[in-house]
């Protein structure tokens, strides 16, 4: 049994096995994409459906091999990526035979997300994004306050000039979202208002400087910092390794001192 488990673990970790699964994920994504074209969906639906089922079975065999190759069932499910893969593959059996329902057909495309768990660099990026969530909350709160203040000011100032953009508070919030993306903000939003109120330039310039150049860069800074942290956790630098060794030695010294005092 141990030999069988060891062999399964070797297969699961083999580059050919991993690359084959990656190719199947790409093929699965292409099949789902082809179904969006009426010609392919009508002419080749039967073959696409057969290919989809074969890929689902191969994914199932892959999960079983990885499950057998793990130290135990509990250790397999302690890894979040294993749980992610298991849920994605298991969902294929829950929705089998119901391809005519649009929502259920859309759910099949979720299998493409498995590429995240297969490619280490994508896993690192996802981990970095998860690490940004606590910091993002504070930045989102700051942005919410900033948006609300400018939306109220914009509604009060430009409600009569441009009711389509600043007629109500929610219209103002939507317009400010367009402005902060820098998509047609000058020609589409600012210029028509500037023609009626030449002094309105300060509102848009201030919003762009604070919103696009300061707060958005805070988002970028947090993400970059967490990407570096996630990379350091996977591949620690020599300095990090030495630091960890020093910390372990200090812990050992502390334990020895505690034993002597006892």
Farthest CA pair distance, the chain? 83
Q: How high is the pLDDT of residue 232?
A: 65
Q: Are residues 127 and 113 in the same domain?
A: no
Q: Are residues 111 and 183 in the same domain?
A: no
Q: What is the CATH number of the domain that holds 172?
A: 1.10.287.70
Are 171 and 165 a contacting pair, CB within 8 Å?
Answer: yes
Whole-number pLDDT of residue 152: 93
pLDDT at 151: 92
Q: Tell me which residue of 102, 90, 99 sits closest to 50, measured CA to CA.
A: 99
Look up residue 189 and give its DSSP letter: I
Weakest mean pLDDT among 48-52, 232-236, 247-251: 232-236
Average pLDDT of every residue of the chain: 79
Contacts 24+ apart (CB under 8 A), 15-23: 17/62, 18/118, 21/58, 21/59, 21/62, 21/114, 21/118, 22/115, 22/118, 22/119
In a domain, 42, yes or no: yes
Residue 129 lies in a domain: yes
Range of the domain at 91: 2-118
Residue 137 and residue 101 in one domain: no
| 53 and 143 housed in the same domain | no
pLDDT of residue 24 exceeding 50, the answer is yes
CB-based contacts of 35, cutoff 8 Å, min separation 6: 41, 45, 48, 105
In terms of domains, do 25 and 71 share one? yes
Say which CATH number the domain at 86 has.
1.20.120.350
- Check whether residue 103 and residue 35 sit in a common domain: yes
For the segment 138-167, the average pLDDT, to the nearest whole number, is 88
CB 62 within 8 A of CB 22: no
């Amino acid at each position: 049994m141990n030999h069988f488990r060891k062999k399964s673990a070797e297969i699961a970790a083999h580059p050919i096995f991993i690359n084959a699964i990656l190719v199947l994920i790409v093929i699965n994504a292409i099949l789902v994409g082809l179904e969006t074209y009426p010609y392919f969906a009508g002419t080749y639906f039967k073959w696409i459906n057969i290919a989809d089922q074969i890929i689902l079975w191969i994914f199932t065999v892959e999960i079983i091999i990885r499950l057998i190759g793990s130290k135990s069932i509990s250790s397999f499910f302690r890894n979040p990526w294993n749980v992610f893969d298991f849920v994605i593959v298991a969902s294929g059996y829950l929705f089998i035979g119901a391809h005519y329902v649009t929502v259920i057909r859309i759910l099949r495309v979720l299998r493409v997300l498995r590429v995240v768990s297969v490619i280490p660099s994508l896993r690192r990026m996802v981990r970095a994004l998860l690490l940004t969530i606590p910091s993002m909350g504070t930045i989102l709160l700051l942005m919410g306050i900033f948006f609300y203040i400018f939306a109220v000011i914009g509604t009060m100032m430009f409600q009569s000039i441009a009711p389509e953009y600043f007629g109500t508070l929610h219209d103002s919030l939507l317009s400010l979202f367009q402005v902060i993306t820098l998509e047609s903000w000058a020609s589409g939003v600012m210029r028509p208002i500037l023609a009626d109120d030449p002094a309105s330039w300060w509102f848009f310039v201030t919003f762009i400087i604070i919103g696009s150049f300061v707060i958005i860069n805070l988002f970028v800074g947090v993400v970059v910092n967490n990407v570096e942290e996630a990379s350091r956790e996977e591949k620690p630098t020599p300095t990090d390794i030495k630091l960890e060794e020093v910390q372990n030695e200090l812990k050992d010294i502390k334990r020895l001192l505690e034993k002597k005092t006892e």
